[in-house]
Amino acid sequence: MGTEGENVRVIAGRYRLEERIGRGGMGLVWRAADQLLGRQVAVKELVLDPSLSAEEARLQRERTLREARAVAQLRHPHIIVVHDVVEDDERPYIVMELIDGGSLAERIAGRGPVDAREAARIGIDLLGALRRAHGAGVLHRDLKPANVLMEAGTDRVVLTDFGIAQVAGATTLTESGSFVGSPEYTAPERMSGERTGPESDLWSLGALLCAVLSGESPFRRDSLGGILHAVVVDEIRPPVQAQPILPVVRGLLERDPERRLDAAEAERLLREFLDTGRTPRAPVAYTPTQRDVPRRAVPPPEVPEAPTPPAALASRSSRHSARGVLIAAALVAAMAGAGVSAAALLMREGGNGSRTPASSGPSSPSASPSRPSAPGATVTVTRPPTTVPASATSRTVPSGYRLTHDPDRFSLAVPDGFTRSPQGERIFYMSPGETFRIGIKMSDPEPGGPLAVMRRSDADGPANNPGYHDGRVTETSHNGNPAALWEFTWNGFTAAEGPRHTYDLCWEEGDRMYDVWVSAPVGKEQESKEYFDVAVGTFVPG
């Protein structure tokens, strides 16, 4: 039984609760003295709601015990250590190591955001903690600045409050219909009620990195409905302070968990930034094999598909957004007291909005540098392409793409919703908003072949592409023909959109030279790489 003094309580005959130092995950946290071992500890006390039924109170106690079991099995310098679990007056307590120092949230509130190097250090430490937890089958599910402690004097990063942790095979509170977690830091797949995995914690880390760099989550809004809409639908805009590690932030904040940056790669990129001071990028080399075609490929359809109208949503990402509107609306409708109706939430759906007039893609071999169209200019689309059955070629067309027979006598698979835009000697297929640009150019062979052409383009890169950097030309082959792959990053068309990354393959086939490239904003390399591999893998001249 607990004993009472004038200002203290002793629980389990051993731990003297001295001072309340915080609250986390349905409990109060106390600074306490372990009278047996003579050391200071932190004790988390489950606070029971007196209005709960006996069954509900039992579920709360089980949750606390689950937290203790989940964390006690983990040993890592950046994960809180659990010393003991005790019960006193039918109330459970978790005894943990005491970290002198406040939370990361308190640090940001008191001292302001951190710089990119400190954010990278924090990110690396948390990635190590998450990798250890995930390796043991434990998901945190509530990663946010308030649940990260910063040890005074050493700045050691410590992940704590596994209060809603999920252990593999255990029943979770969400399965009984209650949503747990912090919406600003919750992955969209968790919002939708789908079965979640380690990728959901990595999304939360991406939001956390934005918060420590700018002072707030990119999904902060004035209402719960606004937050839900931002997480599952709105365009994600990382803060400008995230630019030095933008590929990591964008990779972690990828809505499709299958495309999300994994922990090992995120850690590698952050370490690269700390080592070099340069913005890292994830090089994904082109490998001219059928394996590059995404696993989602399906057998060719038996009949032609109708051309997708320009207003159609593009690619899997846009389809996720459309579905996300329904998810957000359903969540808001289900959460009583949110103050936002589902109808109002749906009214906010507007996509990414309009952008500047069409501009050409990145500079390609033997082509003069392109310039954005003048304001108000129109792009004439001549001889609209027709869609033909996938069986017209031996190439497999993945789900979400359509095989297009272009009027300029070539065919390739492009994502649903992409529209044709010829610009001089180059043909573009662009996503709505022109975020993704697939470019095609056909020409006569040039001296030295594709490798020489790409090397000349690389040498001319700074003149043709403002802010050109990280250019790399690799000799390869395509369909048994000489080829060269050129990758580079540049400043992009507008400051608002930011820098872009390009994959460009040039090869000779027959008596012609072909050039196929994909350009996309930095941070969207994974999706861009898929578009590139499919375009190259399904391209057929003639």
Catalytic residues: 142
Q: Write the single-letter amino acid at 340.
A: V
Q: Assign 279 to helix, strand or coil.
A: coil
E strand residue ranges, 365-415: 386-387, 401-406, 410-415
Q: Report the alpha-carbon distance of residue 157 to residue 482 in Å, rounded.
A: 51
- Whether 398 contacts 316, CB under 8 Å: no
Specify the residue for token string 């990591």.
248
SS3 readout for 193-206: CCCCCHHHHHHHHH
Query: What are the backbone angles phi and psi of residue 35, rounded to the nearest 5°?
Result: -70, -20
Which helix (H) or strand (E) covers residue 24, if one does?
strand 15-24
Query: What is the rounded (10 degree) CA torsion for 440, 445, 447, 449?
Result: 60
CA distance to 73, 184, 494, per residue, from 127 (Å): 18, 19, 33
Q: Report the alpha-carbon distance of residue 504 to residue 488 in Å, rounded.
A: 9
Q: Assign 114 to helix, strand or coil.
A: coil
User: What is the rounded radius of gyration, in angstroms, for the C-alpha atoms of the chain?
Assistant: 27
Q: Report the alpha-carbon distance of residue 452 to residue 103 in Å, rounded.
A: 55
Nearest to 521, CA basis, from 126, 238, 159, 110? 238
Q: Report the alpha-carbon distance of residue 497 to residue 240 in Å, rounded.
A: 11
CA distance to 144, 211, 244, 489, 542, per residue, from 240 (Å): 20, 12, 9, 18, 45
